[in-house]
Structure 1
Amino acid sequence: MNRIILKAKAKVNLSLDVIGIREDGYHEMKMINHSIDLNDVLTFEACDEGIWLTSNEDAIPLDERNLVIKTARKLQSQFNVEQGVKIHLEKRIPAQAGLAGGSSDAAATLKALNTLWQLGLSQSELLAIGVTIGADVPYCLVGGTALVEGIGEKITPIKALQPMTVLVVKPDIDIATPRAFKKLDDSIIENHPDIAAIIELLEDDDYDGLKANLGNVFEAITFTDYPEIAAIKKEMLEQGALAAIMTGSGSTVVGYYRDEELAVRSWQQFRKKYPMCFLSKTEESEGENYVG
């Protein structure tokens, strides 16, 4: 196989809590993640030597600042691979949006090069490499609906979300994750989401209960600095979303709709103001990642 095309799906935090800071400086997390069908598309072609990256998006770095390049070089060095690869990244997931676009691209790179370079790495070996690249990479390798703990390396699949239409709105606000964590560390957060209770609600298909229990600790600090993000969440709920939540450290807000027509009407309203406004679906199937 000399050519592989892979989808890299966006990740959404259904709920997110930060438990504390470990001795090594990493934050201990507890999250419920799920995939949506908003995705980047990566094409990998074997070549004689070198690692080359191109993209449809001019603002995307094409050097080691991009996790795709970092991942490919790490594999090439660690396993003494002489063969090269040409990679094209069709970017669809907004950057600095809390949707783990870069991490999902890195996970796709691990999967593709494991096959293209015939490394024969198991899923557990890929996960071990992934956590050294980024905290969201292990989850992006697994996908689906899952409880994610530790620094992102502990992944427990849980009952999948029911099929719903998902509205994704990313305002023109870029929030650097390290800055968000620093502010969180310096703040006193009184309300933390009850992750165990949310898992029970999912198990019982109690979606009315979900609305009142979903939470993201970053909302407490981010809404103060950027009231526009809080206003987007409020408007989604007023327009009939079953639930709405900011994902990651922001700035993207995600709304869940049981009624697709209602979601479309809401999308039509939001897109008048926000160019980065997408309709998506809850997504569980990992088999669709391979395009060709």
Structure 2
Amino acid sequence: MKEYVVRAPAKINLSLDVIGKRPDGYHEMRMVNHSVALSDILVFKENGQRIAVSCSDPKIPTDARNLVHRVAEKLQARFGIDRGVQIDIQKNIPSEAGLAGGSADAAAAILGLNLIWELNLSLGEMLAFGSTIGADIPYCCYKGTALVEGIGEVIKPVKPLRKLPVLVVKPQIDIATPWAFGRLDSAEHVAHPDIDRVIQLVETEDYAALGSAVGNAFEQVVFQDYPEIGEMKAKMLESGAFASIMSGSGSTVIGYFSDKPAAEKACEAFRRNYFLTFLTEIE
């Protein structure tokens, strides 16, 4: 029996800007994304003609509400596949955290099903298919350091970041992305980070200057309603991070460190108050 194991790395926004809302309801974005070693693990096995999904986190639905299940159904229908699949998800990425865990799993499903069903899809075809299901999925198929534009379908490579230690801290606050977009749409003024400047600093490896350049347009509205998240960012910088940012629409706060001992010390401090604290590294 065939079996494939695929990692689904978490997605982090080094910087994120919301350009505006389109007539179709989607938002135009500009983001500098990168992957980290913190990953979900998906295992694919042949399973007659039935699609079955299981997950180690009982709070995650495993029916058609799950993006992984939706990917399998759509690929099966599109290519007339008469074989089923069992997909087991080992969940390590926190949900509703701004880390694109669901999209990362969906991207891993495209990669895994491409193998087990022998679809022979190119990366471009996988990205195009992923965009029909979710805006973050094309990047999660691509991975690495990249400029992501449009609604997530335009991906341009950026010089890879060094494998620096990254501290990932998720408070007991869940933020729904539609809520965050709604709050941003109604804001009188939106602070737009300089994405081009961030890319320039990454390309020249001027990490010392990144701390004052990185930004996330969602922070202004999220910190207003959830000041604890803003306080976490301040504490991250006080703990020795050269840059800190909220990822996605929140609520996870990211800290970038130049050396591992400082990151480990900060990890110990945050773990006393936040159960979902992970020390990982840039991929």
Q: Residues of 2 paired with 1:188 and 1:81: CA distance?
A: 50
CA offsets per residue over residues 178-230 of structure 1, 9 Å max, x none? 11111111112342101011111111111111110100000000000000000
CA offsets per residue over residues 91-143 of structure 1, 9 Å max, x none? 00000000011001000000111111111211111111101111110000010
- Is residue 2:78 matched to residue 1:78? yes
Tell me which residue corresponds to 1:280.
280
Tell me which residue corresponds to 1:290.
none
- Amino acid aligned to 1:75: L
Q: Residues of 1 paired with 2:117 and 2:123: CA distance?
A: 16
Tell me which residue corresponds to 2:162.
162
- Amino acid aligned to 2:65: R
TM-score, normalised with respect to structure 1: 0.95
TM-score, normalised with respect to structure 2: 0.98
Tell me which residue corresponds to 1:32.
32
Q: Residues of 1 paired with 2:51 and 2:265: CA distance?
A: 44
- Amino acid aligned to 2:223: F
Q: Residues of 2 paired with 1:184 and 1:122: CA distance?
A: 36
| Count of aligned positions | 283
- Is residue 2:85 matched to residue 1:90? no
Q: CA RMSD in A?
A: 0.9
- Amino acid aligned to 2:253: V
* 1:54 CA displacement: 1.0
CA offsets per residue over residues 45-73 of structure 1, 9 Å max, x none? 01211100111111111111111101111
- Amino acid aligned to 1:14: L
- Amino acid aligned to 1:168: V
* SS class of match (1:81): coil
Tell me which residue corresponds to 2:14.
14
Q: Residues of 2 paired with 1:143 and 1:260: CA distance?
A: 23
Q: Which runs of 5+ in 1 are unaligned?
A: 284-292
CA contact (8 A) 1:189 1:220 kept: no
- Is residue 2:102 matched to residue 1:102? yes
Tell me which residue corresponds to 2:255.
255
Q: Residues of 2 paired with 1:132 and 1:212: CA distance?
A: 36
CA contact (8 A) 2:16 2:215 kept: yes
Tell me which residue corresponds to 1:65.
65
Q: Residues of 1 paired with 2:120 and 2:210: CA distance?
A: 41
Tell me which residue corresponds to 2:178.
178
Q: Residues of 2 paired with 1:131 and 1:264: CA distance?
A: 37
- Amino acid aligned to 2:137: V
- Is residue 2:121 matched to residue 1:121? yes
Q: Percent identity?
A: 53
Mean alpha-carbon deviation: is it higher for 98-107 or for 54-63?
54-63
